[in-house]
Copies of this chain bind each other. A is one copy, B any other.
């Protein structure tokens, strides 16, 4: 039983494309940002086939973000890499010799890997008929409409006959070829589905997520175009210098374990249920949006927003679409999706259209930009979001608090950074002249750089730099994220301002101690008969060193903020 078909007659295919494009454009294309059509040089009235082809071409283009990236000569994949970036690294398994068709896949794998078969059996993919039976009064009726949209997409692309319904989405559709009725050879035909494959059926969602490349623009190129975003998160990963350059590849792939939304859809819709209920709940975001710097989930969880979810969420209907969540689903507080997938009243898989701070207030140009026209427009979109549940005046008051509070934290960081930078310029960081090996390619020596988090040797990095680096990269980021998610106290005490002050105190104490030590060294040098500045020409054991030697040039670098190390490598 071939439920999806490759071979349909041309006449049917053409007919269905024509029919579909009209209907489809009417409903959905309007929700795909115009910036995407412009970038793809497509008319917004383009049909599914044309749109999918254009999106896929860009998606798979190494020049536009696919694959190993600009530091590709510096690193090699490990066995797990094929699962993080299947487009580039996946090869069918040579050890599995079976050749099998649609039903056989399910049959064998019920024994081989029962967990995934059971999950699939609970999925929408295995239960399309149930969706088809939904009545218009059912709050999840949209699923039936979605199924019809999928069928139209498949027909437009010649993968489903006009007179046939889609009966199931089975193993073979995603892992070999959508709609095939042939047998597949594990060793030759197997694939892991990349986003463009999911996007054959789920074209609207694919277009939405790919639109992040186009709408995430920065007025002064603070970040490369389309970044940070899910759509280019793998590129951001492989084009970060220290990621590509560090010798510990298994450690590096810890970054990739989150930075692969670009490559797949199952970072949010876990295989093989691909449940929307799961993806709509905050925990789905938590896997990546948590931890030492962007602790979004932790802050949300402790906020009133999160408390409402955690105490009352079990009474909400999670199967209704986001737009109906409050009205038909009984939702009474926001989730991640409620605020971040919304833009001007509509919900989509583009979650970056309201980005202003991008989680990192220390990133160059972000704070300077926070009140200009670009940022104001996005702020207005936020005010709209907040006024779904709050008075406009409250929304504006709170956003002002968030912005000002963040800037106050930034000032503290800058103050400490300048102190460390001065030590660095004077060559006074511990071991700076004697034991500071250069970082691995493509990184360049610098003070408090991002690479120092992941690569250390001798006195590269000093503890002082680790600490001032953490102020910008972690503490300030957490302070801002806490403010942004309305977690009381956290930005002031538990995970923000107080930490910034404690670290500031460390930095200042180090500065005092280093300068006290230098003063004493100078006094001893003077007693030894040297000049007061003789110390500068002596290494720590008192031997004379050449000023033009190790550490000479590096004193001129300086004054970049910690995170810049990350950005610089990212620039295209």
Contacts and interface: CB of A to CB of B under 8 A. Distances in A.
Interface string A385-418: 0011111111011101110110011001000000
Contacts of A527: 524, 527-528
Nearest to A416: B456
A325 to B, nearest CB: 10
Contacts of A513: 430
B254 A491 contact: yes
Given A275-B312, A287-B304, A258 B462 contact: no
Contact of A122 (B290, B302, B311, B330): B330
A454 B497 contact: yes
Interface stretch (A68-76, A221-229, A500-508, A550-558): A500-508
A255 B492 contact: yes
Contacts of A519: 540-542
Interface size class of A (residues with CB under 8 A): 35 or more
A464 B513 CA distance: 12
A397 B84 CA distance: 12
Contacts of A492: 251-252, 254-255, 454
Given A118-B326, A509-B431, A523-B528, A470 B502 contact: yes
A397 B453 contact: no
A42 interface: no
Interface string A450-462: 0011111011011
A303 interface: yes
B509 A459 contact: yes
A552 B252 CA distance: 44
Copies in the complex: 3
A360 to B, nearest CB: 14
B113 A389 contact: yes
A494 interface: yes
B118 A327 contact: yes
Contacts of A165: none
A495 B295 CA distance: 13
A80 interface: yes
A512 interface: yes
A182 interface: no
A431 B330 CA distance: 59
Contact of A311 (B251, B254, B284, B331): B284
B254 A488 contact: yes
A248 interface: yes
A520 interface: yes
A449 to B, nearest CB: 13
Contacts of A303: 287
Contact of A523 (B459, B491, B542): B542
Top-8 shortest CB links A-B: A254-B492, A115-B389, A257-B488, A291-B494, A250-B405, A79-B397, A292-B494, A248-B408
12 contacts: A78-B401, A115-B389, A118-B327, A248-B408, A248-B497, A283-B311, A287-B303, A288-B489, A456-B505, A459-B509, A461-B501, A519-B541
